[in-house]
Amino acid sequence: MAGEKKIETTGLMGWIDARFPLSSTYKAHVSEYYAPKNFNFWYIFGSLALLVLVIQIVTGIFLVMHYKPDAERAFQSVEYIMREVPGGWLIRYMHSTGASMFFVVVYLHMLRGLFYGSYRKPRELVWIFGVAIFLCLMAEAFFGYLLPWGQMSYWGAQVIVNLFSAIPFIGPDLAIWIRGDYVVSDATLNRFFAFHVIAIPLVLIGLVVAHLVALHEVGSNNPDGVEIKKYKDSRGVPLDGVPFHPYYTVHDVFGVSMFLIVFAAIVFFAPEMGGYFLEYNNFIPADPLKTPPHIAPVWYFTPFYSMLRAITDEFTWVLAGLAVLGALALAWRLRGMARLIAPIVLVVIAVLLRAIDAKFWGVAAMGGAVVILFFLPWLDHSPVRSIRYRPGWHKVLYAIFIVNFLVLGFLGTQAPNPTYNLMSQIGTIIYLGFFLVMPFWSKLGTFKPVPDRVTYHAH
């Protein structure tokens, strides 16, 4: 910028800055990155996610030093790590606990974005990168879940990979290509190991960098959902902003301290967490000839697993009926050619729901439950960002959505029965309906006036 005074550094730092933008990068992204001064508790989960990513990478490196990606030796190598490698049990439990804690902090991080409208303009790309990170995490966890080669690892992989065979035309061949064999075998283990250790982490790190760069380009959102760049002082510093360092680095250090206390308590006292973090069946070597009585994924996949199981042949009649009702609603709301085309599309979907096997629609519902998150910036038509200034009944909808997601998670851990199946079907409709009907309900109601500047009370 014209007239901007460039600070010269000397010594080693000056030598580095002449060849690499270290100081300028530090200033742009830390010491002179101005964040809203009204951040609250919800804004620690992004930093915690970065911390857990580092924990997973470091512990993963040490585990790979002793792990054998071989169907005959994988389970024994994990036992060797646990019993013979000095500190191996600690590294393994840190990695397994870290996997679950990663999803805890990421779910809370995404929930905060949902509450405060952090996906709204101009932060659409920040949100899209974030959802892509979530997808990568799911893939990373799925590929890594097979590596201990326990009973639940083996049969969980067998069930999930078999789901791909439900895709019309290409499904059976795709499932064989993913496994590398007709059943989960040594070839599958080697493929999953390569993806878990090399391919997915590289993509994940790239997406995290893109997420942070996009965030710092447009600036952080805040609980009020107002732009702090609107009001600046004579130096161009936002009046409602404070430097990320030292204000929020201290804020995050406190959050990290609290998190590490919880993390250490789990690692040292309850690493299995009652079978939710480490299933008891996974302490039994994989046996292709003996199927566990109840196969279920790890807890962080169970909400989506519930949606998969909810789609039965009978339930497709309900979905087809809802599609027809949706067609009628669109015909009433839209104008012009869209009024004719949109209902036709939905009626075609209703017909396909009955024509194609329910197993495929279960897979589609499970995948669509995640993919629909990419479109959230364009589904929300609310005139305000933050939940603080939305009508009270909007908050009730958010509460129902959260409770429903938790109930779906619980149902996914349980053996199926008619009552649980019905609850899963209702929960699936609530989850998908929350997003699909959002363009209509998000703009209804009386909204509170949004302040020009952030509301902040010193504490």
Binding positions for heme b: 95, 109, 196, 211
Nearest to 127 by CA among 114, 115, 139, 140: 114
| CB crowding 373-389: b at 16 or more within 10 Å, else e | bbebbebbebebbbbbb
Residue with the two structure tokens 């030796």: 73
CA–CA distance, 383 with 447 (Å, rounded to integer): 8
* Sign of the C-alpha dihedral computed for residues 26, 27, 32 and 33 taken in this order: negative
The reply to whether omega before 246 is within 30° of 0 (cis) is: yes
Nearest to 412 by CA among 334, 318, 299, 320: 299
CA 128 to chain centre: 11
Nearest to 307 by CA among 237, 370, 256: 370
The annotated binding site is made up of 95, 109, 196, 211, 216
3-state secondary structure of 62: helix
Q: Where are the alpha helices (DSSP H) in 195-248?
A: 200-218
CA–CA distance, 429 with 425 (Å, rounded to integer): 6
Pair of tokens at residue 434: 């929350």
The annotated binding site for a ubiquinone is made up of 216
Q: Name the residue type at position 457.
A: H
CA–CA distance, 380 with 97 (Å, rounded to integer): 35
3-state secondary structure of 243: strand
Pair of tokens at residue 50: 């970065």
| Stated length of the chain | 459
Q: Name the residue type at position 335.
A: R
Nearest to 433 by CA among 363, 354, 379, 352: 379
CA–CA distance, 175 with 162 (Å, rounded to integer): 6
Cβ proximity of 200 and 136 under 8 Å: yes
Cβ proximity of 291 and 317 under 8 Å: no
Q: Name the residue type at position 430.
A: I
Cβ proximity of 159 and 178 under 8 Å: no
